[in-house]
């Protein structure tokens, strides 16, 4: 499954006939006039052009283990379509963007997300909603994730930027200034800025400078944090610890986009 860089065609079965619908480089068809059809992006998916049920698109792939993805309407007969992510235990389920490329390896991202519940056990359980990998660095970068912090209080989880697999080790730079919220929609934006290996975060349009990480300011070992040249981006959910509480996780995603300038909420 490859991200489209040129105009392709998708065959959709309607009343026994195949109707050809153009697909743009952003990952959404032009047929709905939705948000993805109206702006230039490096990648965009608002799910409006996709049929309900299991994902059916040439614009992105999936990566799952003990989990699944499904396209659903926000409310029966009303509202737009969203991606429902469901996992069991410490499973994962991601929308996966391949062959991503940003000029100068710098870009902005945005996702709207609603999470049903966060882990309350085991202690220090941590999770990822966005993961970026690429060439030039072994770091597996997590621009959006978080961690359960039992020392703060029962069931207290916080957003944080993190990484694993590289010289800085396995870490999540969570902060009490960024508590998670359940059962309500949030708009999360991030900036991936290669010159100083910086990731910055906004939640509902408000900057969260405490969450910023960069070359020498991060939550890992005392060595430089180097961003890879991003080519693969995964958006969804992964929990890393076994036997968590609760034993399953549900979240909903919408308006996923990456661009060379800030997208806004």
Q: Are 237 and 145 in contact (CB under 8 A)?
A: no
Whether the predicted pLDDT of 13 surpasses 70: no
Total number of domains constituting the chain = 1
Site of tokens 């990480």: 213
Name the least confident of 44-53, 76-85, 89-98, 254-263: 76-85
Token pair recorded at residue 210 = 């405490």
Residue 15 lies in a domain: no
- What is residue 52's predicted lDDT score, i.e. its pLDDT? 94
Whether the predicted pLDDT of 27 surpasses 50: no
Compute CA distances 49 → 105, 251, 255, whole Å: 29, 20, 12
Taking CA 56 as the corner, what is the angle to CA 92 and CA 59, rounded to the nearest 5 degrees? 85
What confidence category does residue 127 fall into, taking pLDDT thresholds of 50, 70 and 90? very high
- What is residue 12's predicted lDDT score, i.e. its pLDDT? 32
Separation between Cα atoms, residue 104 and residue 102, nearest integer Å: 6
CATH number at residue 151: 2.60.120.200
pTM of this prediction?
0.86
The percent of residues in the chain predicted with pLDDT above 70, rounded, is: 84
Residue 62 lies in a domain: yes
Residue 25 lies in a domain: no
Q: Cis omega (within 30 of 0) on the bond before 116?
A: no
Residue 20 lies in a domain: no
Whether the predicted pLDDT of 22 surpasses 60: no
Whether the predicted pLDDT of 110 surpasses 70: yes
Residue 9 lies in a domain: no
Residue 223 lies in a domain: yes
Cα torsion 74, 75, 76, 79 to 10°: value is -70
Token pair recorded at residue 8 = 């392709």
Residue 17 lies in a domain: no
| Domain residue limits at 47 | 32-259
- What is residue 260's predicted lDDT score, i.e. its pLDDT? 97
- What is residue 40's predicted lDDT score, i.e. its pLDDT? 83
3-state SS assignment for residue 31? coil
Comparing CA positions, the residue from 62, 47, 137 lying closest to residue 98 is 62
- What is residue 38's predicted lDDT score, i.e. its pLDDT? 59
Name the least confident of 68-82, 125-139, 193-207: 68-82
* DSSP structural state of residue 165: S
- With b for 16 or more beta-carbon neighbours within 10 A and e for fewer, the 173-204 pattern comes to bbbeebbbeeeeeebbbbbbbbeebbbbbbbe
Residue 18 lies in a domain: no
3-state SS assignment for residue 117? coil
């Amino acid at each position: 499954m490859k991200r489209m860089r040129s105009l392709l065609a998708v065959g959709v079965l309607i009343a026994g006939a195949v109707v050809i619908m153009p697909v743009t480089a952003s990952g959404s068809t032009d047929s709905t006039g939705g948000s993805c059809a109206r702006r230039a992006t490096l990648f965009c998916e608002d799910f409006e052009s996709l049929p309900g049920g299991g994902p059916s698109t040439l614009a992105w792939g999936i990566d799952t283990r003990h989990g699944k993805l499904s396209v659903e309407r926000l409310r029966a007969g009303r509202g737009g379509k969203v991606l429902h992510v469901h996992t069991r235990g410490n499973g994962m389920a991601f929308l996966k963007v391949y062959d991503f490329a940003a000029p100068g390896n710098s870009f902005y991202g945005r996702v709207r997300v609603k999470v049903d519940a966060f882990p309350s056990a085991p202690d220090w359980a941590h999770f990822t909603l966005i993961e970026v990998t690429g060439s030039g660095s072994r770091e597996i970068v997590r621009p959006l994730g978080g961690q359960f912090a039992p020392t703060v209080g029962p069931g207290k989880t916080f957003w944080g930027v993190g990484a694993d697999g590289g010289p800085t080790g396995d870490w999540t730079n969570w902060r009490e200034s960024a508590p998670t919220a359940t059962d309500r929609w949030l708009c999360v934006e991030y900036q991936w800025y290669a010159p100083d290996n910086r990731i910055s975060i906004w939640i509902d349009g408000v900057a969260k400078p405490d969450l910023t990480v960069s070359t020498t300011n991060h939550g890992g070992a005392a060595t430089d944090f180097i961003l890879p040249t991003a080519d693969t981006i995964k958006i969804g959910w992964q929990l890393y610890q076994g036997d968590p509480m609760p034993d399953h996780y549900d979240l909903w995603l919408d308006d996923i986009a990456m661009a060379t300038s800030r997208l806004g909420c």
